[in-house]
Amino acid sequence: MKYWFILLLLITTCARADLQTAIAVYQQGDSQKAEKMFLALQTEPDARIYLARIWQNQDLDKAEDWIEQALEQAPENPLAHFVKGSIMASQASNSSIFSAYGYAKDSLRGFKKAVELAPDNVQFRQGLLLFYLQAPGIAGGDEEAALAQVEAIEKENTLAGIKARLIYFKETGHKQKYEELMFRARQHYRNKSDFHYLEAINLQEKKQFLEAQKLFEKASVLPDADEQSNTISFSALYQIGRTAVLAQSFIGKGIQALQHYIQKAPDSRQLPEKYWARFRLANLLELKGEKQQAMEIYQSLLTVEDNQLLERVKKQLQRS
Does residue 95 or residue 307 have the better pLDDT? 307
pLDDT-based confidence at residue 17 (cuts at 50, 70, 90): low
Give the model's pLDDT for residue 101: 84
Give the model's pLDDT for residue 9: 40
Q: Cite the DSSP H helix spans in 172-273.
A: 175-188, 194-205, 209-221, 227-247, 251-264
Contacts of 289 (CB under 8 A, 6+ apart): none
Q: Looking at beta carbons, which pairs linking 263-271 to residues 24 or more positions away fall under 8 Å?
A: 264/234, 265/234, 265/237, 265/238, 266/28, 266/234, 267/28, 267/29, 267/30, 268/27, 268/28, 268/29, 268/231, 269/26, 269/27, 269/28, 269/29, 270/27, 270/231, 271/231, 271/234, 271/235, 271/238
pLDDT of residue 15 exceeding 60: no
Give the model's pLDDT for residue 306: 83
pLDDT of residue 78 exceeding 70: yes
Does residue 265 or residue 58 have the better pLDDT? 265
Taking residues 30-56, report their average pLDDT.
Answer: 92
3-state secondary structure of 201: helix
pLDDT-based confidence at residue 16 (cuts at 50, 70, 90): low
pLDDT of residue 8 exceeding 50: no
Give the model's pLDDT for residue 174: 96
Give the model's pLDDT for residue 229: 62
pLDDT of residue 71 exceeding 80: yes
pLDDT of residue 2 exceeding 70: no
Q: What is the mean pLDDT of the chain?
A: 90
pLDDT digits (tens, 9 = 90+) for 110-148: 999 999 999 999 999 999 999 999 999 888 999 999 999
How far is residue 317's CA from residue 170's CA, in Å, rounded to a whole number?
37
* Cα 157 → chain centroid: 20
pLDDT of residue 69 exceeding 80: yes
Check: CB of residue 44 under 8 Å from CB of residue 19: yes
pLDDT of residue 93 exceeding 70: yes
C-alpha distances (whole Å) from 148 to each of 9, 180, 203, 276 are 43, 21, 28, 37
Give the model's pLDDT for residue 19: 86
Sign of CA dihedral 309, 263, 228, 249: negative
Percent of the chain residues topping a pLDDT of 70 = 92
Taking residues 63-86, report their average pLDDT.
Answer: 96
What secondary structure letter does DSSP report for 75? T
Taking residues 50-79, report their average pLDDT.
Answer: 94
pTM of the model: 0.84
pLDDT digits (tens, 9 = 90+) for 222-278: 876 665 668 999 999 999 999 999 999 999 999 999 999 999 999 888 899 999 999
Among 12-21, 196-205, 270-279, which stretch is predicted with the lowest mean pLDDT?
A: 12-21
pLDDT-based confidence at residue 13 (cuts at 50, 70, 90): very low
